[in-house]
Chains A and B, each alone.
Chain A
């Protein structure tokens, strides 16, 4: 299981604490949190539970990074410069430390201070009723929103699977490798029989490439946030392709308070918005038709 893989990256001292946690609790983990000078913790249902007695050292954080990259941290330095790295199976490690600046850009992170090891989960059937009610109007452009850690990516992956298995050609622009976690060309997650995945590049570039090369009916993108992402959404939506995307926001009102999202909402590209709420670990889904 992915949680075992994630715990396997930890040095012996830290691993012990996680191995002592009951199995049924451990498999629910959304994240392992390691902060230098603090005890390690396990994030379950968006709440952090302290693990073990000792404190995490900076050297232990470096060991985790070394293990996660097979002692080849240099191979992922461009990803580290963006604050994260992806591991086999869709596990993502977020990093904090001291940013290294080169030519006014962050070129790396040294002196690590914290790591967030995120464990992806498949949730077949989640928000299925909402999707079915949206599909009553035909295939639509859908924006899935929630605050960070709310389950957007899991929900998007499920929608990709369902729509793909219905016979729609879905092109997935998987920038961080979290949606499909492709290994040796094969997605590690079930994303449906008619899905094509392009990973590793910028979402906007990949969406345009797939639009030209894969004749998709739906293009899926996780976490649209930059101006380039928005431009890609404008570009593909005007070409007869439906867009399935996620964005960080707690509500539709919050979306309107963000200039880039406000513009895209006003352009009426997205017909539906699926709002995910997470209260004490219980997720609720609400599909709203956008004006």
Chain B
């Protein structure tokens, strides 16, 4: 009985660690997709002068795995005829769909929204490139420590499970 209990506690702690490690990977992948999204957005605005509606339709077809909620939400908000500005719609979608990103990354995207929708392509492009550079720096930082942090989470949670088992036994 004790043995079964111990196995359950350790397995639960291990799963917790794996979950946390996956969350880290999801964060990294979402950040990577957001950078790619901003690259396409910038290209469409500067080179093709495409309207946001068309850009979002195109991005929707590009099969973004982690960004689809954000893209869908923004497309829908753009079609809705309410009194919110595009900047507010963008910020609301960042808050609602990109919770996996860190607070400062979300802040970067929210600040970017102030320059979108109502300015010429040069101004918008500058703001997008600035936000992209900021997120790329975060991604490099995250990539460098991802493996170690994933291992640390798994080891730490497994260790905590073992300690708990010993204490309980």
Q: Which of B71-92 contact A (CB under 8 A)?
A: 78, 81, 83, 85-86
Chain A residue with Cβ nearest B89: A71
Known: A71-B52, A72-B53, A75-B50. A66 touches B86 (CB 8 A): yes
Chain B residue with Cβ nearest A102: B122
Query: Interface readout for B109-123 with A: 1 if CB under 8 Å, 0 if not?
Result: 000000011111100
Q: Does B49 contact A (CB under 8 A)?
A: yes
A74 CA / B120 CA spacing, docked (Å): 4
Please tell me if the beta carbons of B49 and A71 are within 8 angstroms of each other in the complex. Answer: no
Please tell me if the beta carbons of A12 and B53 are within 8 angstroms of each other in the complex. Answer: no
Q: Does B157 contact A (CB under 8 A)?
A: no
Q: Does A214 contact B (CB under 8 A)?
A: no
Q: Does A52 contact B (CB under 8 A)?
A: no
Per the CB 8 Å criterion, the residue count for chain B at the interface is 18
Please tell me if the beta carbons of A71 and B118 are within 8 angstroms of each other in the complex. Answer: yes
Q: Does B124 contact A (CB under 8 A)?
A: yes
Q: Which of B53, B83, B119, B120 touches A70 (beta carbons < 8 Å)?
A: B53
- Shortest C-beta distance, A6 to chain B (Å), equals 14
User: B116 to chain A: which residues have CB within 8 Å?
Assistant: 71
User: B50 to chain A: which residues have CB within 8 Å?
Assistant: 72, 75
Scoring A69, A71, A75, A77 by chain B CB atoms within 10 A of each residue's CB, the highest score goes to A71
A108 CA / B51 CA spacing, docked (Å): 18
Known: A71-B117, A77-B120. A8 touches B81 (CB 8 A): yes
Per the CB 8 Å criterion, the residue count for chain A at the interface is 17
Q: Does B160 contact A (CB under 8 A)?
A: no
Q: Does B45 contact A (CB under 8 A)?
A: yes
Chain B residue with Cβ nearest A64: B118
Please tell me if the beta carbons of A73 and B49 are within 8 angstroms of each other in the complex. Answer: no
Q: Does A11 contact B (CB under 8 A)?
A: yes
Query: Interface readout for A210-221 with B: 1 if CB under 8 Å, 0 if not?
Result: 000000000000
A63 CA / B119 CA spacing, docked (Å): 11
A12 CA / B83 CA spacing, docked (Å): 7
User: A48 to chain B: which residues have CB within 8 Å?
Assistant: none
Scoring B50, B52, B117, B121 by chain A CB atoms within 10 A of each residue's CB, the highest score goes to B117
- Shortest C-beta distance, B110 to chain A (Å), equals 16
A65 CA / B52 CA spacing, docked (Å): 14
A70 CA / B51 CA spacing, docked (Å): 8
Please tell me if the beta carbons of B53 and A74 are within 8 angstroms of each other in the complex. Answer: no
Chain A residue with Cβ nearest B82: A12
- Shortest C-beta distance, B37 to chain A (Å), equals 17
Q: Does A62 contact B (CB under 8 A)?
A: yes
Q: Which of B109-161 contact A (CB under 8 A)?
A: 116-121, 124
Q: Which of B35-81 contact A (CB under 8 A)?
A: 45, 49-53, 78, 81
Please tell me if the beta carbons of B117 and A72 are within 8 angstroms of each other in the complex. Answer: yes
Question: Could you list some 15 contacts between A and B, CB below 8 A?
Answer: A11-B83, A62-B118, A66-B86, A66-B117, A66-B118, A70-B78, A71-B85, A71-B117, A72-B52, A72-B53, A73-B117, A73-B120, A74-B45, A74-B119, A75-B51
Task: Supply 14 further A-B pairs (C-beta < 8 A) apart from A63-B118, A71-B116, A77-B120.
Answer: A63-B85, A71-B85, A71-B117, A71-B118, A72-B53, A73-B118, A73-B120, A74-B119, A74-B120, A74-B121, A74-B124, A75-B50, A77-B49, A77-B121
Nearest 5 CB-CB pairs, A to B? A71-B86, A71-B117, A72-B51, A74-B121, A66-B118
